[in-house]
Amino acid sequence: MCGAYVMARERSIAIASAYLGWVMDGYDALLVVPILPLLGSLFFPGPYSYLGGLSTLVATLVMRPLGSVVMGYVGDWAGRRVGLMATTLGYSLSGLAIALMPPYESAGAAAPIAVLVLRALQGVFLGGEWGPGTSMIMEWSGWRGEISSAFAQTGYPLGALAASLVYSAMSASMGSAFAAFGWRIYVATGALAAVLAFMLRRRSVESPLWRRPRRNPLAALFLESSADLAKAIAMTTGLFLTYYSTYLIYSQYLKYVGLAELTPFVMTASTAAAVISVFLGGVLALVVGYRAVFVGSLAAALAFAPYALMFNPSAASLVALAFLENFAMGLVPLVLVRRFGVEKRATGLGVAYNWGLLIGGWAPLLVGIFGSMPVGMVSVMAVGVVVAIAGLLALGSPTP
């Protein structure tokens, strides 16, 4: 009885520490989104201030693939727990440094350079979070794979939702003081919350399945599993093309269609809807199978998108679209985890996810190529849905 209690306690701590880290990934990665104009004016003053602020988000995005390789390798070679402790420490300290950074007015050109370097470092460590963390959850969990997968995937949108709520509360309560110094407290909240994840990870035990691999995980992944890796990246690329062409750019879309006043509610409600549908994707997969949920939900979202984006833009229709298209995201770990053996799993999952994010993350720019934003959103989304479904089908059925 005592042994069973200890095992249950170890499982709970391991799963909680991995999950909280994924929540903090969503929180820290998207923390800067509502303050991009402010960061631009503080660190990149002048005619290109907006682009400077945007570059702080891009710097994190483009470095995630490197982090997935480096920290995925650590998670496979040294253990999931070691990899997760390193990622938490890395992105929390770099975030805290940004909160303390003097503006351009005080530090000159060193200020924007330092901010970009720190955000790039955050990208490396945040990019290394998903592979070891998802591996830890899937390997420790005693639940059905569909539920474990869906649970793991709710972490990121939950973190994004938390960042949105914290920003709304702080900016509303502090008023003009937020631009003066409150933004520093806001940015520092990510580092402070990450301390809890780090402390949990220090107490966590290693995955029961992990053993030090006999061969280099990178060689095993890129040389022996390159075909599966390419198919997996295609699947995640399609998903991110879908998301980054629709609900992740709702703020720009609402401004385009003259409904900017709906932005706070729509963004918050859409993210909350994403958390719910991600988990429901796993539940529904237990009943009808993961392929039916993956393909069916994306097809339904694509069929609904013209109505929501072109013919009847409203808060209700936009939130409904976000809800429909996020079922598939809850199934990504389930699809991928058995494609990559334990000895290369953290690297394989991290690379498949973050390299797809890097490619699919260009969707907003692709939307901008079209003269009409709604037409561009539906068109890029259609490409994303086709690519995601093709990648899933090409992977075939996972091996038990």
Using CA atoms, how far apart are residues 279 and 135, in angstroms rounded to an integer? 18
CA distance 349 to 69: 10
Identify the DSSP state of 261.
Answer: G
Structure tokens at 254: 């609402």
CA–CA distance from 371 to each of 169, 314, 378, 395 (Å)?
Answer: 36, 21, 13, 36
**What are the helix and strand counts (H, E) for the chain?**
21, 0
Contact 150, 283 (CB under 8 A): yes
Query: In this structure, are residues 61 and 73 in contact, taking their beta carbons and an 8 Å threshold?
Result: no
How far is the C-alpha of 130 from the C-alpha of 279, rounded, in Å? 17
Q: How far is it, in rounded angstroms, from Cα 312 to Cα 47? A: 36
Q: Residues near 335 by Cβ (< 8 Å), separated by ≥ 6? A: 232, 235, 290, 294, 392, 395, 398
Structural contact between residues 19 and 157, judged by C-beta atoms closer than 8 angstroms:
no
Contact 95, 194 (CB under 8 A): yes
Report yes or no: 326 and 281 within 8 Å, Cβ to Cβ: yes
Q: What pLDDT is recorded for position 3?
A: 63
Q: Which residue has the tokens 């890796």?
A: 229
| Predicted pLDDT at 400 | 47
Task: List, as one string, the DSSP characters of 192-204.
Answer: HHHHHHHHHHHH-
d(CA 367, CA 343): 39
Show the tokens assigned to 262.
């709906």
CB atoms within 10 A of CB 116: 18
**Helix 263-288 crosses helix 145-153 at what angle (to 10 degrees)?**
170
pLDDT along the chain (400 residues), means of 10: 66 86 84 86 87 85 91 92 87 90 92 94 91 92 89 91 89 91 91 77 84 90 92 97 91 89 90 94 95 98 97 95 96 92 93 93 89 95 98 78
All structural domains of the chain: 1-206 (1.20.1250.20), 215-400 (1.20.1250.20)
Provide the residue type at 104 as one letter. Answer: Y
Distance CA 118, CA 97 (A): 8
